[in-house]
């Protein structure tokens, strides 16, 4: 038999075996998904032939640059536990690459120089979010995170003025200190002589973080909201339910297609969460009788923003400022537990701040100015952000061409992504990238490194508006906890699997042991 025929038969056999394996992964009830994906693949390839690519676009390397590339890439990343490692491998290989995912083609920027061109751009046509953010829309509506153009520009200016100015951040310290006290007490109930905590640390922390966000935006604690009569869920349970739904769509991207999602029984729950959470927030705004000056209603109404618009921003702030901070705190505590030497240095620094009458009140509450003195703690926090960035992925859909260098220009309509760990673990900028080395963030090291090599809160005009508030919470909570407790863990970093959920999330709750310090400075709290 001719060699060419043998090769052709082998290729056909390999393709048949591959398709058989793919089909085996779908239950009978989900067979429609495979058919729909194949249809999307056909449409995608027809669409790609019509798109006029920019200069050098076709020369951008990457996996699956062939007819079945979309299915091949989806198959490669079929296991959520492997997605992070797959992307890290690609980033280690390419400074820029593109990947087909059925009906979408994504260009990944993996160098500070390229990221600066996009995220540093002041062209409003480069600010729209990519398709992955569509999963958030049922929860946050068209608030600051997803809005574009003049609406985004106006809202950003107003929120910066009334929610995140230096003066307002100072005023939040009262809330942060109060919740820090609550958190210390809650941890005290779980502090043991050596056994693991009976309740996951993230569940304890999330109550305090959510209370801060709802007090700032609505003027009351999340626990003050009544249960949703229609579902018998609390407001916190609604928010967590939305997080889980979004994560499912991220990990199983075919559910992002509305025509498929409507066949999933969870689509009804998503609709309920969307409607009831918006209704709850609106009712709180309409019936607001707050006399403490908390909440953003009065200031935003004075700026001409309607109640509906304020509700959008409240939902956005809760959605964006809750989950990320809770996960970041859990990861930070974990890394401090794994590195007791650095934990002790942070504890000594915290002690010096709490014992300074100019930085700490007689009630043991930190002044806003005290946070800038927690320099080593901040270095450790930034190293935790670098090693395990909570916001691990960001994405844009450019509406105007952008030139990255002389040989590469991305055309209008390109989906552009930044996988943050790929840059954070580049040995060119961070030698020995897998090691926990806080000194990377000393003033001298920062000065000699591109500001676009460290992206914990994104960067540029559309960076995270709540980054300073999140930093306040993390530094305040951690300083207070280290002042009272020693943190240990029975887990090893190499054994923990991180999933690409809404945030970089441990597959299972991390195991902690919390012990009171031998000389507890706050035994009576």
The dihedral through the CA atoms of 512, 475, 203, 436 has a sign that is: negative
Task: Provide the β-strand partners of residue 515.
Answer: 486
Identify whether the C-beta of residue 257 lies closer than 8 Å to the C-beta of residue 187.
no
Phi, psi of 407 (to 5 degrees): -105, -5
Task: Provide the β-strand partners of residue 108.
Answer: 97, 417
How far is residue 430 from each of residues 152, 425, 437, 438, 441, measured CA to CA in Å? 34, 6, 10, 11, 10
Other Cβ atoms less than 10 A from the Cβ of 312: the count is 24
DSSP 8-class letter at 351: H
Coil, strand or helix: which one is 183? Answer: helix
Q: 3-state SS of the chain: helix, strand, coil percent to 5?
A: 60, 10, 30
- For residues 346 and 328, what is the distance between their CA atoms, to the nearest angstrom? 17
Q: Which residues of 221-245 are buried (b: 16+ CB within 10 A; e: fewer)?
A: bbeebeebeeeebebbebbbbbbeb
User: Residue 418 is inside which H or E element, if any?
Assistant: strand 415-419
**Residues 295, 141, 314, CA angle at the centre, nearest 5°?**
10
Asked if residue 346 belongs to a known ligand binding site, the reply is: no
Identify whether the C-beta of residue 380 lies closer than 8 Å to the C-beta of residue 374.
no
- For residues 142 and 316, what is the distance between their CA atoms, to the nearest angstrom? 8
How does DSSP assign 116-156, residue by residue? Answer: HHHHT---GGG--B-GGGGGGHHHHTTSTTT--HHHHHHHH
| Helix-helix angle 266-286:201-218, to 10 degrees | 40
Identify whether the C-beta of residue 513 lies closer than 8 Å to the C-beta of residue 489.
yes
Binding annotation for heme: 464
Binding annotation: 464
């Amino acid at each position: 038999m001719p060699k060419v025929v043998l090769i052709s038969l082998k290729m056909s056999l390999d393709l048949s075996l591959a398709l058989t394996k793919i089909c085996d992964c779908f239950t009978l009830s989900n067979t429609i998904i495979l058919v729909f994906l194949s249809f999307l693949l056909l449409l995608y390839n027809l669409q790609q032939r019509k798109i006029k690519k920019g200069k050098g676009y076709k020369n951008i390397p990457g996996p699956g640059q062939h007819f079945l590339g979309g299915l091949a890439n989806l198959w490669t990343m079929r296991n959520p536990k492997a997605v992070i490692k797959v992307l890290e491998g690609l980033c280690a290989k390419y400074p820029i690459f593109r990947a087909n995912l059925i009906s979408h083609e994504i260009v990944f920027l993996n160098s500070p120089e390229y990221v600066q061109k996009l995220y540093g751009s002041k062209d409003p046509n480069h600010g729209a979010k990519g398709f992955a953010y569509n999963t958030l829309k049922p929860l946050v509506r068209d608030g600051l995170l997803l809005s574009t153009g003049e609406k985004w520009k106006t809202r950003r200016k107003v929120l910066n003025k009334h929610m995140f100015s230096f003066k307002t951040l100072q005023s939040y310290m009262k809330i942060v200190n109060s919740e820090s006290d609550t958190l210390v007490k809650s941890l005290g109930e779980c502090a043991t002589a050596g056994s693991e905590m009976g309740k996951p640390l993230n569940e304890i922390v999330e109550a305090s973080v959510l209370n801060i966000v709802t007090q700032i935006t609505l003027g009351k604690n999340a626990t003050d909201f009544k249960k949703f009569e229609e579902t018998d869920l609390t407001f916190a349970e609604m928010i967590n339910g939305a997080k889980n739904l979004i994560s499912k769509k991220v990990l199983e991207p075919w559910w992002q297609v509305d025509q498929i999602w409507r066949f999933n029984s969870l689509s009804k729950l998503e609709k309920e969460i969307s409607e009831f959470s918006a209704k709850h927030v609106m009712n709180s705004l309409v019936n607001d009788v707050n006399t403490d000056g908390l909440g953003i209603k009065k200031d935003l109404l004075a700026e001409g923003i309607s109640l509906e618009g304020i509700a959008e921003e409240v939902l956005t702030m809760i959605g964006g400022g809750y989950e990320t901070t809770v996960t970041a705190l859990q990861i930070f505590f974990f890394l401090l537990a794994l590195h007791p030497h650095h934990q002790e240095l942070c504890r000594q620094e915290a002690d010096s701040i709490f014992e300074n009458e100019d930085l700490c009140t007689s009630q043991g509450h930190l002044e806003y100015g005290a946070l800038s003195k927690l320099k080593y703690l901040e270095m450790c926090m930034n190293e935790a952000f670098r090693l395990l960035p909570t916001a691990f992925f960001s994405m844009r859909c450019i509406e105007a061409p952008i030139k990255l260098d002389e040989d590469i220009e991305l055309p209008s309509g390109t989906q552009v992504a930044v996988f943050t760990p790929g840059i954070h673990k580049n040995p060119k900028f961070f030698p020995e990238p897998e090691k926990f080395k806080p000194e990377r963030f000393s003033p001298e090291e920062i000065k000699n490194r591109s500001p676009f090599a460290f992206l914990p809160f994104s960067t540029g005009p559309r960076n995270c508006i709540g980054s300073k508030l999140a930093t306040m919470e993390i530094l305040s909570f951690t300083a207070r906890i280290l002042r009272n407790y020693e943190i240990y863990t029975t887990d090893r970093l190499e054994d923990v699997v991180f999933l690409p959920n809404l945030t970089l999330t441990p597959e299972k709750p991390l195991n902690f042991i919390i012990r009171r310090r031998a000389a507890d400075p706050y035994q009576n709290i």
